[in-house]
Chain A
Amino acid sequence: MAHAQLSPRNIPDRLEGRGARIMKSWEALLIVVATLIFLGNSFASPYFLDPWNLSDATFNFTEKAMIAFAMALVIISGEIDLSVASIIALASTAMGYAVQLGVDTPALVAIGLGVGLACGALNGLLITGLGLPSIVVTIGTMSLFRGLSFIILGDQAFTGYPESFAWFGQGYVWWVFSFEFTLFVLLAVAYGVLLHKTNFGRAVYAIGNNQTAALFSGVRVARVKFTLFLLTGLMAGLASICLTSRLGSTRPSIALGWELEVVTMVVLGGVNILGGSGTIPGVVLAALIMGMVTFGFGLLNVPGIVMSIFIGLLLISVIALPILWRRARRRLAH
C-alpha cells in the first residue's frame, strides 16, 4: 500500500475564491452526475418516478452506506478494512443462532451490535496493538469471520426471526421513509459532524496526512485508529441487523463481496484511497448515485453480475479520470 511520493508538491501562492473552489470540487461533479442519472432513469423507465419505487430503491444502498461512513474515516486515516462483509455474516449468524435458542428482538439487536464491536475490536487490536498492516490483517479476519459462519452454518440457513425483528429492515417510520433510510440520514449527519466539526475528525485527517507529524502534535494515533475500527465493526453490526431483518434468513454467504462495493462507494465519494482527504457529503452523494444506478439497471432487467462489471469500471475510472484530467491540463498549460 505504501506509495512512493516521487514528485514534489506544488503549493499555490494564492488560494482560489470560495465559489470557484466549490464549483471545482468533487462533490459538485457528483451532484451533476447524480442529477444526470436521475433524469436518465426517469426517461428510461416509466416506473422510476414513483415515491414507493424510489423508497424501495433506497434499500439498495442504505446498509452499504452505513458501513461506508465509518469506512470513509478509516480510509482517510490511511488504513482499510476489508473484513466488513464478513462481520455482517458473522453477526447475522450469531443472531440466527440466538433465535434458535428463543432470544427476543432487543437481545438480538444487542447481539448483532456486540458481535460487530467485538470483530472491530479484534481488527483494531491487531492493527494498533501489534502494528500490523491493516490490509493483510483484514484480509485474514475477512476469511476468519466468514469462516466461523461457515463452521456454524455449513450449507444450512437460520430462519424464524421474530416478527418484531422484521421492522428494522422492512418497517417505515413515516410515509415512504423506511427505518433504514431514516437511519442512513441520521448517520450521515452524525458522521458529517464527527468528521468535519470535532477534534476527533481533525485527528483523523492529521493521521491520514502524516502519521508521524500527528503523533508529535499530540494526537493519540493508536487510540484514534482503534476507535475507527471499533466504529466500522459497529456499523457492520448495524448493517447486519438491517440486512438480516430485511431478508429474514441467514446464510454464510450473506453480503458476499460487499467490501468491494463499500470501498467503491467511499472512493467514488472522493475519499483519497491513500488517506488524508475526503468528505462525508461526497460519500452520501456516491451512495445515492450507486443506489440509483443499481435500481435503474434493475428496472431495465440488467443482471446483477453485469452491474458488478459496471461498479468495477466505475471504481477504476473514478480514480483514473482525475489523474488523466490533471495530466491533460498540465500538458495544455506548458
Chain B
Amino acid sequence: MIAKLLKNREILLVVAVVVLLALIALRFPAFVAPFNLARVYNDTSILIILALGQMAVILTRCIDLSMAANLALCGMVAAMLNAAFPGLPIPLIILAAMALGGLLGMINGTLVWKLDIPPIVVTLGTLTIFRGLIFLLTDGKWINAHEMSEAFKALPRLDLAGVPVLSWLSLLMVCVMFLVMSRTPLGRAFYAVGGNPHAAIYTGIDVGRTRFFAYCLSGTLAGLSGYLWVSRYAVAYVDIAAGFELDIIAACVIGGISIAGGIGSVAGAVLGALFLGVIKNALPVINISPFAQMAISGTVIIIAVAVNARAERRKGRVILRKAEAV
C-alpha cells in the first residue's frame, strides 16, 4: 500500500512541497502562515496557467518554446489597447488578448500540423518573431503604469471572498483543464497522440489536428497570461517574461509530464509550478540572492527529468539485455 503510494508521482510531489515548506518553516515559521501561503499561490498563478497549456502540448510529443514571447506580445497589445482606448471594457481586452494568443498558437499549430516541421524548430523561430513583433509595434517604447487605466490594473488584485481575482482565475483554469483532460474527447486524444501516434491513427484520431488544438490551447492561455502579467506588474515592454518559457517547461518536467509525450496530469503541472513558486518566494526569505534562482531551476529540471526517466523505464520483457543497456 505504502509502496504503491510512493510510486504515485502526484503524492510524491505533494510530499516534496510539504518537506520544502517544513524546511523553510523550521527557521521562518511565518512563511507557512495561511495568509503567506495564499500569497505564494497568487504569485505562482500565472506560471500555473502557462504550465497547463504547456502540459497539453508536451502530452502530444511537442513543445512550445514560444509561450513567454506569446505572453509578452499579447500583454503588450492589451496594454496598447488600454492606453489607446481607456474606455474599452476590461473583459473585452482580456478576450482580445486571448484571441490574439490563440491566433499565435494557431500559427505554431499550423506549421507543425500542415508542414510537419519539428515543433522545437517552429517554436524557436516564432519565439524570436513574436519578440521582434513587439519591438516593431512599439519601437522599443515602454507602456508604463500611468498610461494604463485604473480598472485595467485593478482587476487581478480585486478581492473576491478574501482571495484576489488572479488566484480565482488560475483555479478556474485548473478546473477547466481538469475537465478538458479527463472528460472530453480532445483531452483523451492528447494522451493517445503522445502515448502512441500510430495507434492513435488507427483509432481514428487525427494526430496533426490534435497537436494543432494543443497549440491553440497553449496560445490562448499564454494570451490570458499576457493580460494578467502586464496588469499585475503595471508595465509592458519588449523583454517582459524573457526566459520564462524555461520556467514553464521546468514546472511541467518537475510535475512529471514526460517530454516523450503521453504521460502527465493537471495535478502534476500545478504541483510542479507550485514547487518552483515556493522556491522562488522562499529565496529572499532565507537570504539567498535572487540571482541564484536560475541555477536552482536548472538543477531542479535535471534532477526531475532523471527521476522521471527512472519512473518511466519500461518494465517489459528484456529480449536483448545489451541493447537495453544503452
Chain A residues with CB under 8 Å of chain B are 1-4, 6, 80, 126, 130-133, 135-137, 139-148, 150-151, 154, 211-212, 215-216, 221-222, 252, 257, 260, 263-264, 267, 273-274, 303, 305-306, 308-309, 311-313, 315-316, 319-320, 323-324
Contact = CB atoms under 8 A, between A and B. Distances in A.
A150 B132 contact: no
Given A2-B61, A309-B129, A147 B326 contact: no
A3 B127 CA distance: 21
Q: Which 5 A-B pairs have the closest CB atoms?
A: A147-B295, A144-B298, A309-B132, A147-B294, A143-B298
A137 B197 CA distance: 24
B302 A140 contact: yes
Interface stretch (B13-21, B25-33, B114-122): B114-122
16 contacts: A2-B261, A130-B309, A132-B305, A139-B301, A140-B253, A143-B295, A144-B294, A144-B299, A147-B296, A151-B291, A211-B326, A260-B124, A308-B128, A309-B129, A319-B121, A323-B117
Contacts of A3: 118
B120 A154 contact: no
A148 B207 contact: no
A323 B136 CA distance: 29
Contacts of A264: 124-125
Interface of B: 61, 63, 111, 115-118, 120-122, 124-129, 131-133, 135-136, 140, 197-198, 201, 207, 238, 246, 249-250, 253, 259-261, 289, 291-299, 301-302, 305-306, 309, 323, 326
Given A6-B201, A130-B309, A313-B129, A305 B238 contact: yes
B326 A131 contact: yes
Contacts of A221: 326
Contacts of A151: 289, 291-292, 295
Given A143-B295, A144-B295, A260-B128, A323 B135 contact: no
A143 B294 contact: yes
Contacts, number: 153
Contacts of B289: 151, 154
B238 A316 contact: no
Given A135-B120, A139-B246, A267-B121, A306 B306 contact: no
Contact of B132 (A130, A131, A137, A305): A305
A125 B250 CA distance: 20
A252 B238 CA distance: 20
A1 B125 contact: no
Contacts of B249: 136, 139
B73 to A, nearest CB: 12
Contacts of B323: 212, 215-216
Nearest to A83: B298
Contacts of B132: 305-306, 308-309, 312
A147 B298 CA distance: 8
Contacts of A131: 309, 326
Given A151-B289, A260-B127, A135 B135 contact: no
Contact of A140 (B116, B292, B301): B301
Contacts of B302: 126, 137, 140-141, 144
B305 A137 contact: yes
The main secondary structure of chain A at its interface with chain B is helix
Contact of A135 (B131, B259, B292, B296): B259
B104 to A, nearest CB: 13
B301 A133 contact: no
A68 to B, nearest CB: 15
Given A135-B259, A141-B302, A320 B111 contact: yes
Nearest to B121: A273
Contacts of A2: 61, 260-261
B63 to A, nearest CB: 7
Contact of B127 (A148, A211, A312): A312
A130 B121 CA distance: 25
B225 to A, nearest CB: 20
A136 B295 CA distance: 15
A4 B298 contact: no
B291 to A, nearest CB: 4
A147 B294 CA distance: 5
A151 B295 CA distance: 8
A118 to B, nearest CB: 15
Contacts of A324: 115
A126 B304 CA distance: 12
B118 A147 contact: no
Contacts of A313: 125, 129
B294 A150 contact: yes
A55 B206 CA distance: 52
A319 B117 contact: yes
Contacts of B297: 143, 147
A313 B309 CA distance: 35
Contacts of B128: 257, 260, 308-309, 311-312
A222 B323 CA distance: 11
B111 A316 contact: yes
A1 B129 contact: no
Given A147-B295, A260-B127, A313-B129, A136 B111 contact: no
